[in-house]
């Protein structure tokens, strides 16, 4: 009888977890992935701002950091809705030395089929959009 009770209690938990994994890959959300082709670890500080907002505080859709190990990749899933953004970034080698700082514009449809916007860090410490 204890086994049946355990299974009955676990079924809703499994169903709930299955629902959560579906939310992460929401087709209406934008994800960001960074590929590091350098031999040093990097940190990318990134801010996505809506271009149609009336105030700066209303414009910010996402702000955060992405740490990428040498010859590795890192991603952030579902950072913001798929809509038009100004993406500002700063790239820091070893989380301390600024090597690149710039911005790019994102328009819905610029991402790959999975809803991911990709960037590359080259061996010189520059960040480029794929």
Tell me the two tokens of residue 29: 């959300």
On whether residue 12 sits in a domain, the answer given is: no
**pLDDT value, residue 15:** 47
- Adjacent-strand bridge partners of 119: 34, 129
CATH number at residue 107: 2.60.40.2890
On whether residue 31 sits in a domain, the answer given is: yes
SS3 content of the chain, % helix, strand, coil (to 5): 20, 50, 30
pLDDT one-digit tens code per residue, 66-102:
999 999 999 999 999 999 999 999 999 998 999 999 9
On whether residue 77 sits in a domain, the answer given is: yes
Confidence of residue 26 (pLDDT cuts 50, 70, 90): low
Parent domain of 121: 27-129
Domain count, the chain: 1
On whether residue 41 sits in a domain, the answer given is: yes
pLDDT one-digit tens code per residue, 7-19:
455 555 454 444 4
On whether residue 45 sits in a domain, the answer given is: yes
* CB crowding 5-16: b at 16 or more within 10 Å, else e: eeeeeeeeeeee
**Stretch 107-125: mean pLDDT:** 90
On whether residue 5 sits in a domain, the answer given is: no
**pLDDT value, residue 118:** 95
**pLDDT value, residue 12:** 52
Tell me the two tokens of residue 14: 């499994």
Residue with tokens 């798929």: 82
**pLDDT value, residue 31:** 94
């Amino acid at each position: 009888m204890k086994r049946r009770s355990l299974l009955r209690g676990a079924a809703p938990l499994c169903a709930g977890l299955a629902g959560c994994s579906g939310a992460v890959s929401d087709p209406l959300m934008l994800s960001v992935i960074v590929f590091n082709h350098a031999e040093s670890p990097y940190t990318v500080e990134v801010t996505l701002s809506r271009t149609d907002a009336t105030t700066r505080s209303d414009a910010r859709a996402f702000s955060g950091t992405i740490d990428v190990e040498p010859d590795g990749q890192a991603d952030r899933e579902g950072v913001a809705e798929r809509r038009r953004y100004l993406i500002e970034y700063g790239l820091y080698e070893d989380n301390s030395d600024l090597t690149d700082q710039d911005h790019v514009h994102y328009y819905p449809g610029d991402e790959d089929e999975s809803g991911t916007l990709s960037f590359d860090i080259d061996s010189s410490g520059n960040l480029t959009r794929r």
